Amino acid sequence: MPAKRLREFLNSHNVAYTTMPHAVAYTTKEIAALTHISNKELAKTVIVKVDGAMAMAVLPASYDVDLSALRAGIGARSMTLAKESEFKDQFPECDIGAMPPFGNLYGMAVYVDESLTKDKDIAFNAGTHDELVQVSYADFAQLVKPTVLKFSELPDLESMGAWHL
């Protein structure tokens, strides 16, 4: 079952969503294989510190965050990856590393890589390591109102294998 805050938010806005239970998995590579969802439609949430404040960078699972591009895109002075110890308390009902990309529920800005906007649907962790939620990208964008920027890139394709795309 999705995290309570997420579930209540989606239900209160009458958003159609699908939950997808799967075996416990901690990496997007494992999740994609278990659920048969393309890594381009599987969104990962990366917590970053922007000028000292926590924010979410949301991008396709098969991509890497380009912190320099994100920092430049939003005009921040500094940007670093946040440490789990710095943000774990902000998501009391979520497993660490399984936070859904709804920063508006947790008092965080949300930055979405423009490549996700091309997907009809996106799937993401539901707050646990054994379930995904899938919604239309249009519903996600309407509810979260993220800032859309180009800040990710595909890693070396040879090292990850073409099946991830």
What is the CATH number that goes with domain 4-151? 3.90.960.10
Kindly report, residue by residue over 74-102, the tens digit of the pLDDT.
Answer: 999 999 999 999 998 999 899 988 999 99
Q: How confident is the model at residue 24 (pLDDT cuts 50, 70, 90)?
A: very high
Cα–Cα dist 11/28, whole Å: 26
Cα–Cα dist 22/112, whole Å: 25
Q: Where are the domains positioned within the chain?
A: 4-151
Cα–Cα dist 153/94, whole Å: 27
The tokens describing 8, both together, are 């209540």
| Average pLDDT in the chain | 90
Kindly report, residue by residue over 92-137, the tens digit of the pLDDT.
Answer: 899 988 999 999 999 999 999 999 999 899 999 999 999 999 999 9
Kindly report, residue by residue over 35-71, the tens digit of the pLDDT.
Answer: 988 878 899 999 999 999 999 999 999 899 999 999 9
Half-sphere exposure of 83 (CA within 13 A, CB side): 2
Q: What is the pLDDT of residue 59?
A: 95
Contact 29, 63 (CB under 8 A): no
3-state secondary structure at position 53: strand
Q: What is the pLDDT of residue 18?
A: 94
Cα–Cα dist 163/143, whole Å: 31
Burial class (CB in 10 A: 0-12, 13-18, 19+), 50: buried
Cα–Cα dist 165/156, whole Å: 12
DSSP per residue, 41-100: TBEEEEEEEETTEEEEEEEETTSEE-HHHHHHHHT-S-EEEPPHHHHGGG-TTS-TT---
